[in-house]
Amino acid sequence: MADVPDAAQAFRGRSVVSADDFSKEEVLALLDAARAYDPVQRGDAPLPPSLQGRVLGLLFFEPSTRTRLSFESAMLRLGGSVLGFSDARQSSFSKGESLVDTIRVVEGYCDAIVLRHPREGAARLAAEVAGIPILNGGDGSNQHPTQTMLDLYTIREAAGALDGLRVGFMGDLRYGRTVHSLASALLHFDVDLCFIGPENLQLPSDLRDTLKAAGRLGSEVELLSDAGALDVLYMTRIQQERFPDPMDYERVRNAYRVDRAALEPFGPDLKVLHPLPRVNEVATDVDDLPGALYFQQTRNGVTVRMALLDLILGGAS
Ligand code: NCD
């Protein structure tokens, strides 16, 4: 794509480790650039194979459907190729190889790596040792920055703007990495935040302190009915796999569920997002509401990741 503005140029050759690493101008430049990759906006006209001959590594040490396949789809649609694994037990990890060694090896096979890993900080470590861009596809309960970019894109395209919104986050505020990434990225914008979740699944203290210091913690409530008016409701799955004690999961697993009736008081303009997968926290009767955006979100994942890969790997300039 021609005409790449300066803020978008800043993506060239860069790792994407945390949503906090990007300025407001850079985030907006990516969201603007992504429109050109949106099949709806471009009338489904084919894009030039700008990443032909480039290879994306996909190293997934944790389960994934959307993140892995949408990166794969994005790379293939731009004419590039992919390699990697989706089950670390089939890699030399099972023989005891360290993450650092794996990265040092795989960087010789590709031009950028998407890494999903259960350990917080794994992407930062990989980015420090790698000579190619590392894209964090989720590191433990810490960050999921490319999900945040597609969440912001989805909200902006649906609501027309990011400023002026009241955004509620509901569910697993403690372990949900998509919540952590998105809440901190929203600090760039003039939004009111509201956090809805049980007492033992509240935000981690470092993020809570950051939001508080910025005067943006907003309200923290246990029940959706106490949240007040909302423009966006960002639902999350209770992250069963991150609970040290399975009994704690049992206590909250059915506590956070919305259905059409529960959303009625928020009016027809409410936008409901969810990074997916859902378990039972969003009833299927919500799916037909015009504001139910979670399947649109998954499609936007390809759009935004195409823009990101093209900018990082230089196909866009
Ligand atoms: C999320 C994740 O892996 O953090 N999924 C995704 O990437 N869309 C959310 C989740 O697993 O609950």
Residue 196, domain extent: 145-297
In a domain, 317, yes or no: no
Q: Are residues 179 and 132 in the same domain?
A: no
Is 232 found in the same domain as 107?
Answer: no
The reply to whether ligand 1 has any atom less than 6 angstroms from the CB of 117 is: no
User: Which atom of ligand 1 is the closest one to the Cα of 177?
Assistant: 4
Is residue 178 in contact with ligand 1, taking CB distance under 6 Å? Answer: yes
> Ligand 1 within 6 A of 260 CB?
no
59 C-alpha to ligand 1 centroid (Å): 16
Measured in whole angstroms, the distance separating CA 307 from the mean position of its chain's CA atoms is 15
Q: How far is the CA of 200 from the centre of ligand 1 (A)?
A: 20
CA-137 nearest atom, ligand 1: 7
Q: Do residues 113 and 233 share a domain?
A: no
Residue type, 110: C
Q: Is there a single domain that holds both residue 137 and residue 178? A: no
Nearest CA residue ID for atom 7, ligand 1:
67
The contacts of residue 133 (CB under 8 Å, 6+ apart) are 13, 14, 15, 16, 111, 112, 113, 127, 312, 313
Q: What's the pLDDT tens digit per position in 153-210?
A: 999 999 999 999 999 999 999 999 999 999 999 999 999 999 999 999 999 999 999 9
5 Cα–ligand 1 center, Å:
31
Predicted confidence (pLDDT) per residue in 39-87, tens digit: 988 888 889 999 999 999 999 999 999 999 999 999 999 999 999 999 8
Distance from C-alpha of 78 to C-alpha of 49, rounded to nearest angstrom: 5
> Nearest residue CA, atom 11 of ligand 1?
277
Report if residue 94 sits inside a domain.
Answer: yes
Amino acid (one-letter) located at 119? R
Number of domains in the chain: 2
In a domain, 263, yes or no: yes
